Structure 1
């Protein structure tokens, strides 16, 4: 098999175990969580995307890794990670938290889609060896990131339960019906 064929098989099959794991263990729990808690869990995973800057490190990636792929992937991940961290830091400030959640999911999804596009246009499957130590990122990490972005958008779009009468100062709808202390999530 050619390196490009192996890489493409890895890309596709990288989604299979994550979808199975997500469907069996993660999604059932996320669906039951309060909107804030569920988005915090997803933001926690995406806050590690600063690691994408590794695509810019000589010696970690090969010298022939297309710069058009590496730079966009690195900075797109970095921006997504910072926005996810902002969401985590702003969990008690809904006016900052919710826009940050939307922003990191939009930026992160665009980053991944454009990375797939750049990878295809620039012939990344034929150059998969140039990924070096970062080879595992598109195979193991990216599928989970894309799946959780889709889940986050679904959770943002689903109707939220209304607050019960006399529920105090809790806001209804929009995932804000029960802000909890940071120690209550994950």
Structure 2
């Protein structure tokens, strides 16, 4: 298998595993929770996205990793991570702006991941950061999907209260 085929296989299989875990394990529990509580727990993995700053660390990624990728990926992750932390506080404290903040987290986070995933030419330069896109990103994609479904389906009364 080529490097690109291995990467794609790992990404897809991780996505499948996280989707199954979400469907069979996480969703039934979240469905019994208040909407804000469910969104809180789905935002938790995103609060660690500051770890994406590793794309700027020499020696972790190849020196040949293009700057157009490393900067966008690192700072996109940082922005999403900061929004996730604010989302956690907003949801826990039930701020009036909690849902708009969670929407912002999802918009910034999904755009960041989509931008990174479309750049297959950078895959050979990941080195030890390989596990971020093949393990962490699938978990983030699944939780983004779960949050977006909940945000769209949230009762109008809950949305109007924000």
| Same fold at TM > 0.5 | yes
Unaligned runs of 5+ in 2: none
Distance 1:109 1:51 in 2: 16
Distance 1:173-1:96 versus aligned 2 partners, 3 A rule: closer
Distance 1:40 1:159 in 2: 14
What is the match of residue 46 of structure 2?
46
Distance 2:73 2:27 in 1: 27
Displacement, 1:57? Answer: 0.3
Query: After the TM superposition, which parts of structure 1 deviate over 2 Å for at least 4 consecutive aligned residues?
Result: 93-96, 172-176
Task: Tell me if the contact between 1:34 and 1:175 (Cα under 8 Å) persists in the aligned partners.
Answer: no
What is the match of residue 122 of structure 2?
124
Distance 1:146 1:17 in 2: 12
Q: TM-score under structure 2 normalisation? A: 0.91
What is the match of residue 152 of structure 2?
157
Task: Tell me if the contact between 2:65 and 2:126 (Cα under 8 Å) persists in the aligned partners.
Answer: yes
What is the match of residue 66 of structure 2?
66
Distance 2:152 2:95 in 1: 16
Distance 1:24 1:18 in 2: 10
Q: TM-score under structure 1 normalisation? A: 0.80
Ranked by relative contact order (alpha carbons within 8 Å, sequence separation 6 or more), the top structure is 2
The residue matched to 1:59 in structure 2 has which SS?
Answer: coil
Displacement, 1:175? Answer: 9.0
Q: Comparing both structures, which one devotes a greater share of its residues to helix? A: 2
Is 1:140 matched up with 2:144? no
Displacement, 1:94? Answer: 2.4
Distance 1:82 1:47 in 2: 7
Distance 2:159 2:35 in 1: 8
Displacement, 1:95? Answer: 2.2
Distance 1:135-1:175 versus aligned 2 partners, 3 A rule: farther
Is 1:16 matched up with 2:1? no
Unaligned runs of 5+ in 1: 162-171, 177-186
CA RMSD of aligned residues (A): 1.8
